[in-house]
Amino acid sequence: MPSPESKSLLVVVRHAPYGSSLARTSLEVALTAATYEQEVGVLFMGEGVLQLLPEQDSTQIGVKNIGKLIASFPLYDLDSLFVDEDALLRHGLDDKNLPQDLRPLGTTAIQQLLRKYDHILGF
Amino acid sequence: MIYSLLVLSSPCSGQGSATALRFARAVVDRGHQIRRVFFMDEGTLSGGSSIVTPQDEINQVQQWAKFGAQSKTELILCVSSALRRGLLDASEADRYEKTAATIHPAFEISGMGQLIDASASSDRLLTFGG
């Protein structure tokens, strides 16, 4: 059972949506933390930004849709979503329809974000 | 200081699991405490009792088990990651009608809430692998 203490947690997501089981695992950790009413943020970096692609269709490869999992975040009050704006640009996602709560951050802002949280879980 | 560790990488590939174990030993040697080691994803293989290592290589599972027993540290395998990889304790083997338990008795299978609890109750939470 969770102890009465609480620590803020930043989940750093660096895996492309369908290349590794860690992609889904990282999001499940964030959702579980939100379920236990911890202060939790998610930072998408590197290839992890590809998880944010709108209208993902994973039916042909027979795995669950990561985009739908991210779309369910508001149901868990998980709205502290951040993304490395350089990675967004690099992957050509900057003009795409991205989650409403998502905040693009530059390098300095990311450094500040990393300092703000008690724990950082890097996936 | 109270530490918890999250281990994501397989003991069969790369250094993540071995580095986590060395770090854990160093934490205890320096007089700190390990609240819990939580294994997820490929990291859960660190608790697989049916892993056989060549005689001239280190068996990571036995090393973790020894550390757990000596330092009385909780070694927890995430249930959803473990089941997918065929890692079962006696009750899970029974529930899913499998022939045998496949985790080392030094490890326990539990839910992701144990990771969140470790986060809330530790000064430091470190990730290995990923």
pLDDT at A1: 46
- Of residues A21, A33, A36, nearest to B41 (C-beta): A21
Q: Which residues of B touch A14 (CB under 8 A)?
A: 130
Touching check for B79 and chain A: CB below 8 Å? Answer: no
Strand partners, A42: A11, A81
Listed as ranges, residues in chain B with pLDDT below 70 are none
CA A13-A19-A46 angle, to 5 degrees, is 35
pLDDT at A5: 76
pLDDT class of A94 with cuts at 50, 70, 90:
confident
What are the b/e assignments for B73-93, b being 16+ CB within 10 Å? bbbbbbbbbbbebebbbeebb
Question: Is the pLDDT reported for residue A3 higher than 70?
Answer: no
Options 3.40.50.10710, 3.40.1260.10, 3.40.50.970, 1.10.490.10; CATH of B2-128: 3.40.1260.10
pLDDT at A97: 87
Which residue would you say has higher pLDDT here, A54 or A111?
A111
Inter-chain residue contact B115 with A2, CB threshold 8 Å: no
Touching check for B125 and chain A: CB below 8 Å? Answer: yes
What does the pLDDT look like over A33-49, one tens digit per residue? Answer: 999 999 999 999 999 99
Strand partners, B5: B37, B126
Question: Is the pLDDT reported for residue A2 higher than 50?
Answer: no
B69 with B62: CB under 8 angstroms? no
Average pLDDT over residues A12-27: 95
Q: Tell me the ipTM for this assembly.
A: 0.92
Average pLDDT over residues A83-94: 94
pLDDT at A4: 55
A42 with A36: CB under 8 angstroms? no
Q: Which residues of A touch B2 (CB under 8 A)?
A: none
Average pLDDT over residues A13-19: 95
The per-residue pLDDT of chain B, averaged, comes to 96
Average pLDDT over residues A12-25: 95
The per-residue pLDDT of chain A, averaged, comes to 93
Q: Which residues of A touch B8 (CB under 8 A)?
A: 22, 25, 123
Question: Is the pLDDT reported for residue A55 higher than 90?
Answer: no
Q: Which domains does chain A have, with CATH numbers?
A: 9-122 (3.40.1260.10)
> Which residues of B are tagged catalytic?
78
Q: Tell me if residue B13 falls in helix, strand or coil.
A: coil
Q: How far is A27 from chain B (nearest CA, A)?
A: 12
Average pLDDT over residues A100-107: 95
* Alpha-carbon distances of A49 from A52, A89, B99, rounded to whole Å: 6, 10, 42
Q: Where are the domains of chain B?
A: 2-128
